[in-house]
A and B are shown apart, each in its own frame.
Chain A
Amino acid sequence: MITFQVEDNQGSVRIIEIPEGINLSLMEVLKASEYSIPATCGGMALCATCHIEVKKGLESLPAPKDTELDMIDTLPNATALSRLACQIHVTEEIQDALFLVKGGE
C-alpha cells in the first residue's frame, strides 16, 4: 500500500491508502476521494485547477516538467511548494507525503 496524507482547505487531514501499481495520478485519486477539485482539463496540465502544495515529501517527487511549471506560474497563490496533482503519479515516491489541496472551491 502507498500511504499519504491530504489536508483540505479547512485544515482537516486524512490518510489515504492506495494499492501499489495502480496507474492513477494524484488528481484522479483526489477526485475519487471526493475533494472538490474541478480538474477542468482532465489532466493535461493546462488549467491548474488541481493546484496542491506539497507540505511534506517534495524532495522525493520527480521534478516538474515545463508545462506544469508554466501553469503554476499563472496562479496568484502559488508558492515554492506548489505542484499540479494531475502531474504527480501515485507511486512509492509519494509514500508519507502531505499534500494541501488548494485548487478547490
Chain B
Amino acid sequence: MFKDMITTDICIIGAGPVGLFAVFEAGLLKMRCHLVDVLPRIGGQLSEIYPKKPIYDIPGFPEVLAGDLVENLRAQIEPFKPTFTLGEKVNSLTRNEDGSFILTTSDETTIQCRVVVIAGGLGCFEPRKPELENLERFEGKGVVYMVKDPESFREKNIVIAGGGDSALDWTLHLAHVAKQVTLVHRNESFRGAPDSAEKVAALARSGKINLLLNANLQSIQGNGVMNSVSCVGKDKQVTELEADFLITLFGLSPKLGPIADWGLNMDKQAIVVNTLDYSTNVEGVYAIGDINTYPGKLKLILCGFHEAALMAQSAFRFVYPKQKLSFKYTTVNGVNAF
C-alpha cells in the first residue's frame, strides 16, 4: 500500500524521555518534530522496563515514577503537536541533493526532514529469540515473536513458548481463538501473575489447552512453511507438536540495529558526538541521550535533557537558514504553541 510521505522539520528516532523532551526544546524554536520508535508506545525503557520504578535524580522531582515522568513529558510537549510513527523501526537514512533527509521504516513509512536527531537509547528493543538452528528460515512462515493480530491465529494450531506474563496472557487469550494451544515452559511452574498462572492451569486441567512443562524448544520442521515443533523434556523425551504457528515470548532486548550502517563515527556501540551541540560527523544528524558518547559522558536522563537543549539551538540553522536565532526564557514569553 502506498503511504504519503511525512514532512517535518526534525525527525527524532526514539521516543524515550530524551527524544520526547527534544520536541519541547525544538518547539520553543518553532521547529516541528516527528518521532519514530520501534516500540508501540512512547517512553522507551521507562515504559518498557521499569514504569513502576521511582527515579530520584530528575531536577524538581524528589521522586517520580518512570511511567509518570513519561506522562508528564507527553503533556509538556503536547502544545507543540508532535506526530508519531510507533511500532516501526527506521531502516534507512538517505540524503537528498537539497540537504534534506529521507528516512524509511520497516513498514515503508517515509519521512522527509531537515534534521535527524538520534535519541535511540541503547538501540531498538527487539524480541529475544530462542537458539534454534533453522529459526530464521521460518520467520514469517510460522514463527512469530509478538502477537499483532490475534485473529490471524483463529482455528490454527499454536505453540507458545515462554514463562513470563506475556506467555501466560496470550495463552489465556488465544485459548478461545485458536484450534489448539500448547504452552511450552522450561520449568515446573510459572512465576508470572499467580492469577494468570492458575487460569492457565485450570484450562490445562479441562483439556482446553495443552501444557508442556519442564521442556524446551528443540527444532522446527516444515517444507517451506512450518508444520511442527519439537520439544525436549528434562527427561530427554522428545515431543513433536503439530503447529501452524510458533509464538516465542521471551521478552525484549536492545540491539543497535541499522544505525550502525549510516556512516556515523561509532565507539563501542555508541555514536561519537561533538559536545558543542551533540552533532555527529554527518552534518544535520545529531545524537542525544544514552546512544551518544563523549569524554565524561554520563548516561543520565537529566544529561540527555541538556543535550536536547543544545542540539535544538544548533539545529535551528538547518531549519531556518535565513533567520537569526535569539535565545528566550520560557518565563518571559511562555510556551507559545504552533
Give the complex CA separation of A41 and B48 in angstroms: 10
Bound-state Cα–Cα, A105 to B268, Å: 12
Of the listed stretches A17-25, A42-50, A52-60, chain B binds A42-50
A75, B251: Cα distance in complex, Å: 7
Determine whether A92 belongs to the interface, using a CB cutoff of 8 Å to chain B: no
Q: How far is the CA of A76 from the CA of B50 in the complex (A)?
A: 21
Which among B131, B248, B254 is the interface contact of A38 at CB below 8 angstroms? Answer: B254
Q: Answer whether residue B253 sits at the interface, using C-beta atoms and an 8 A cutoff.
A: yes
Do B45 and A40 touch across chains, with their CB atoms under 8 A apart?
A: yes
Interface stretch of the complex, out of A65-73, A83-91, A93-101: A65-73
B82 at the interface (CB under 8 A from A): no
Closest to B166 in A: A74
A37 to B155, CA, bound (A): 41
Check B187 for interface membership: any CB of A closer than 8 A: yes
Find chain A residues with CB under 8 A from B251 CB. 48, 74-75
Whether the pair A49, B191 counts as a contact (CB closer than 8 A) is no
Task: Check B250–A41 contact: CB distance below 8 A.
Answer: no
Partner of A41, one of B45, B161, B162: B45
A-B pairs with beta carbons under 8 A, tally: 57
Contact call A73/B130, Cβ cutoff below 8 A: no
Contact between B191 and A70 (Cβ–Cβ < 8 Å)?
yes
A46–B49 Cα distance when bound, in Å, is 6
A73 and B191 contact, CB distance less than 8 A = yes
User: Which of A41, A70, A73, A75 has a CB less than 8 Å from the CB of B50?
Assistant: A41
A104 to B82, CA, bound (A): 35
How many chain B residues sit at the interface, stated as a range, is: 20 to 34
Chain B residue numbers with a CB within 8 Å of A36 are: 269
A33 within 8 A of B: no
Closest CB-CB distance, A69 to chain B, in whole Å?
6
Measured CA separation A47–B122 after assembly (Å): 12
CB within 8 Å for A76 and B164 given contacts A38-B122, A69-B191: no
A78 CB–B CB distance under 8 Å = yes
CA A69 – CA B188 in complex, angstroms? 13
Is B297 interfacial (CB-CB < 8 Å)?
no
**Interface residue? A10 (CB, 8 A):** no
For residue B154, CB closer than 8 A to chain A, the reply is no
Does A12 sit within 8 A of B, measured CB to CB?
no
* B240-258 residues at the A interface, CB under 8 angstroms: 248, 250-251, 253-255
Name which residue of chain A comes closest to B129, CB basis. A76
Choose from A46, A66, A76 the contact partner of B250 (Cβ within 8 Å): A76
Q: Is B163 an interface residue (CB 8 A)?
A: yes
Query: Which of A41, A66, A77 lies in contact with B191, CB distance below 8 A?
Result: A66
Is B53 an interface residue when CB atoms closer than 8 A count as contact? yes
Contact across chains for A74 and B50 when beta carbons are under 8 A apart: no
A76 touches B191 (CB 8 A): no
Residues of B within 8 A of A78 (CB): 186
Instruction: Name the distance in Å between B145's Cβ and chain A's nearest Cβ.
Output: 11
CA distance A86 to B53 in the complex (A): 17
B 234-278 to A, binary, CB cutoff 8 A, 1 in contact else 0: 000000000000001011011100000000000001000000000
The interface residues of chain B lying within 8 Å CB-to-CB of A69 are 191
In the complex, chain A residues whose CB is within 8 Å of the CB of B164: 70, 73-74
- Taken together as a complex, chains A and B put the C-alpha atoms of A47 and B130 apart, in Å, by 16
Q: A40-B122, A46-B53, A105-B255 are in contact. List 11 more A-B contacts (CB 8 A).
A: A38-B253, A38-B254, A40-B49, A46-B50, A47-B45, A49-B253, A70-B191, A73-B187, A74-B164, A76-B131, A76-B161
Residues of A that sit less than 8 Å from B by CB: 36, 38, 40-41, 44, 46-49, 66, 69-70, 73-78, 105
